[in-house]
Amino acid sequence: MHGSKKSEWNERNGLIVSVYLSLVAAAPLAADSGKSEPAVPVFKDGEAQVVERFNDPDMWIRHDLWVETEFDSDGDGRLDRMHVDVTRQRQTDTEGLRLPVIYITSPYFAGTAKGEHDYFWKPRQQVGEAPPKREESPLVERKGERPIISKSHVKTWVPRGYVVVHSSSPGTGLSEGCPTIGGKNESLAPKAVVQWLTGKATGYTTLKGKETVKAFWSTGKIGMTGTSFNGTLPLAAATTGVEGLKAIIPIAPNTSYYHYYRSNGLVRHPGGYIGEDIDVLYDFIHSGNPDYRDHCNCAVRDEEMIKGFDRETGDYNDFWAGRDYLNHLGPMKAATLMAHAFNDWNVQPEHSVRIYQALKEKGVPIQAYFHQGGHGGEPPLKQMNRWFTRYLHEIQNDVENEPKSRIVREGDKRDEPTSYYDYPNPAAAPVSFYLSPGAPEKGGLSVEKSSQRGTETLIDNFSFDGTSLAKAEWTKHRLIYTTPILEKPIHLSGTSSITIRLASSKPAANLSVWMVSLPWSKGKNTLITDNIITRGWADPQNHRSLRESQPLVPGQFYDVKFDLQPDDQVIPKGQQIALMIFSSDREFTLWPDPGTELTIDLDATSISMPVVGGLGAWNKALINEGKEDEEN
């Protein structure tokens, strides 16, 4: 693709659609010969079944087209067109069959930038200072050949009576426009494709041509799904309120780019991608027409992102507010099945939980599937099938009256979740825990509050990662406080919140908090999926406002309160819950020079945990019933 002329990029292989469809129409009707009954979707127990006459990939029709949008993001004076592919059953041509659509859109289909993390921001910098300039990213070499953009989901849904459609996001693949990473055009692009599927937008056989193509085979009922960025875009489309988008299944979606790249005023990187920021992701996916690259880089990356994302302070601002889908849910009405993992440290679980809660309050049909693994992981096929069957085929399977929450319990298979009435567990209640001194070893964590516990100090050093600090018996680089050993399992469900009174020896510092289960598992305890219960980060400079940070006065105490990541976990008998407070988190934060001291006022610091059964359940979990029986 690099160095090709516009005319070659725009019109190459422009006759593939018509020639391919002519060949398919002329093919022998072997699969349907002698059949008097038309092929139609089949349903059993509220689920779409595999239909044998839909199940032969050699008989599927595949073609591509371009759908015209309502925006011109590449500045060429023409409305941008999105590249779309279609995989549908032959009976949509031979028998006039009309079917609902499963639609997947992505910025990744045409390839991504190589070069490891060489062009990421360098984490080695002081907190609150201007970052060193990052290296230019390598160009993305577009991959893939027309007419197929992707083969994802076709083997699952085409045999079950759905047409599968893919599209490349703006500025990627053969789609026009600029990537904006959460900008308005990334919502309007899938909206246009949905409108084409409902007959309200225009599709063209070529990128710049005038020959139109209609989705005559579509019932006008569309569902969307996808994972990670591909899971963000169904939500983005749904926030437009576009008619015809009936149901979505976002899997590990990024619902706020501020929450992805910042935490409570702190510059924070997604797990596994130290040094990534929103402009890096822009470069990573920018596989579109190279003739427009300079315009997009200038208008979007340099003028909008780098001037708006405020990597120096990490403050929340209008740039980030515009890229938070929670702020745009007003028109949304698509039935939504959220899926996320509680140990996803890339797109962290708050992304789905915050949307789940908002849609529940809004009255939109909503369910959630949670598991204990890492990034990704779709709901069981049965659950997804019932969701799409109900809202796209309109089969009354009563799915909207089923439990709202399904959670894979520790040690269980992902396709065997436990059903709960809601999330968080309705029986959960906040229980406050208080600290007692013990540094540089371990202090205590209990529900008993007392005074005059004094202060304790840690010394920042990014050289040690969080796991090493949590496992250490003795270290001055963190403070850790543990509960008594549990005599019974304890179930946490919901969001923990911490209040810390601290002083810093410098005007700016990272603040990191982990809740962990001790002793550290060596892989033998199948009830422990991960010793890390939850985590959180904050910038003490934002103790008053997310939009405006203020340098700390060294030695002065400040109250900082923030939420940790949502969780639902059963901590087994024999473990202790530990609260760890430290400064720089090597896997997530900037790496300032070691030596900053954080002093914690224990009397004014506490953490609230969502315990199923509340304080009564917690107290019972500490009682050794065998010992109690002996005493009685």
Q: Could you tell me if 182 and 257 are in contact, meaning their C-beta atoms sit under 8 angstroms apart?
A: yes
Rama region for 587: left / alpha / beta (φ>0; ψ in -120 to 50; rest): alpha
Which one, of 535, 598, 132, lies nearest residue 343 by Cα?
A: 535
**CA dist list (Å): 307 to 254, 317, 589:** 22, 11, 21
Q: Could you tell me if 74 and 176 are in contact, meaning their C-beta atoms sit under 8 angstroms apart?
A: yes
**Could you give phi then psi for residue 548, rounded to 5 degrees?**
-145, 110
- In this structure, what token pair is assigned to residue 508? 């700016």
**CA dist list (Å): 230 to 27, 74, 183, 261, 410:** 35, 22, 15, 18, 27
Do the bridges between strand 218-227 and strand 163-168 make them parallel or antiparallel, or are there none, so unpaired? unpaired
Q: Is 577 helix (H, G, I), strand (E, B) or coil?
A: strand
Burial 231-263 (b: 16+ CB within 10 A, else e): bbbbbbbbbbebebbbbbbbbbbbbbbbbbbbb
**CA dist list (Å): 284 to 107, 108, 305, 328:** 9, 9, 14, 26
Q: Is 520 helix (H, G, I), strand (E, B) or coil?
A: coil
Rounded Cα distance, 278 and 294, in Å: 18
C-alpha torsion 365→369→375→378, nearest 10: -80
- Is 344 labeled as catalytic in the residue annotation? yes
What's the start-to-end Cα distance of the chain, in Å?
81
Rounded Cα distance, 414 and 507, in Å: 46
- In this structure, what token pair is assigned to residue 524? 């033998």
Which of 167, 218, 228, 493 is labelled catalytic? 228
Rounded Cα distance, 477 and 493, in Å: 30
Which of 269, 375, 491, 543 is labelled catalytic? 375
Rounded Cα distance, 531 and 513, in Å: 14
- Is 375 labeled as catalytic in the residue annotation? yes
- In this structure, what token pair is assigned to residue 173? 């693949």
Which of 74, 279, 315, 344 is labelled catalytic? 344
Q: Is 186 helix (H, G, I), strand (E, B) or coil?
A: helix
- In this structure, what token pair is assigned to residue 614? 């509340």
- Is 603 labeled as catalytic in the residue annotation? no
The owner of tokens 């020896």 is 505
Amino acid identity of residue 248, one-letter, is I
Q: Who's near 33: CB < 8 A, 6+ residues apart?
A: none
Give the catalytic positions in this structure.
Answer: 228, 344, 375
